[in-house]
Amino acid sequence: MTRHVVLQKRLVSKAKKAKEGLHKAEVSLDIARLAYHTAIGEIAAAGGSVREIGRELGLSHQRVHQILEVLSCDFCAAPRRDADAMVAGGVGGHICDLCIDLAVRVFASSSRESDGRTTLRLLSAGDSSTCTFCKCKQSTRKRSINARRIVAHKQNRICNECVELCEEIVAEERAKRG
């Protein structure tokens, strides 16, 4: 093995480690944001007004309102309190644990699936809409096993990579609660 190849291997494994670290940090950030928004939702559910919450946390009441408004699932409209877990995307989107499970089923069957609460469908291969959670489009190489596919409910969309991340977050949430 030449010195050059050894060096490259070391750099690649360093980059892979860094990528893993970034991924973990992103998951932690999502969990922290979820915990924060959930706590605000709990104060509101206990009767706290938007103005009171804003004053206590140093937020404008518009911001509190915005946080409370998005605390429902984009795919089934379940409010936060009815879901075991709700994942908030970094750039937008909210999905509850039940819709995450349903999305997994849609990707597995490659067709429309319903669980009695809501229906999710797979976007057709040529559809160039983006994932609400990560803003990525579907892969055009649909035969590849790493292809990005998107499921949708009305205007709300989530891709298989975001669903995988959501599954990890929900598993961590469940583990924390015991």
Nearer to Zn ion, 3 or 141 (CB): 141
Give the E-state strand segments of the chain in sequence order: 86-88, 94-96, 113-114, 119-122, 150-153, 156-159
Q: How far is the CB of 78 from Zn ion (least distance, A)?
A: 5
Nearer to Zn ion, 56 or 115 (CB): 115
By the 10 Å C-beta count (0-12 exposed, 13-18 middle, 19+ buried), 73 is classed as buried
Residues that bind Zn ion (CB under 5 A): 73, 75-76, 78, 96, 99, 131, 133-134, 159, 162
Q: How far is the CB of 55 from Zn ion (least distance, A)?
A: 32
Nearer to Zn ion, 48 or 79 (CB): 79
Nearer to Zn ion, 104 or 134 (CB): 134
Helix or strand holding residue 62 (H, E) = helix 61-69
Nearer to Zn ion, 53 or 149 (CB): 149
Q: How far is the CB of 149 from Zn ion (least distance, A)?
A: 10
What does residue 114 show for φ and ψ, rounded to 5 degrees? -130, 145
Provide the b/e sequence for 4-30 (b: ≥16 CB within 10 Å): eeeeeeeeeeeeeeeeeeeeeeeeeeb
Q: How far is the CB of 83 from Zn ion (least distance, A)?
A: 7
Q: How far is the CB of 14 from Zn ion (least distance, A)?
A: 27
Report d(CA 89, CA 75) in Å as an integer. 13
Neighbours of 58 (CB within 10 A): 7
Nearer to Zn ion, 64 or 87 (CB): 87
For 49, the token pair is 């007004």
Q: How far is the CB of 25 from Zn ion (least distance, A)?
A: 18
**Phi-psi label, residue 154: left if phi above 0, alpha if psi -120 to 50, beta otherwise:** left
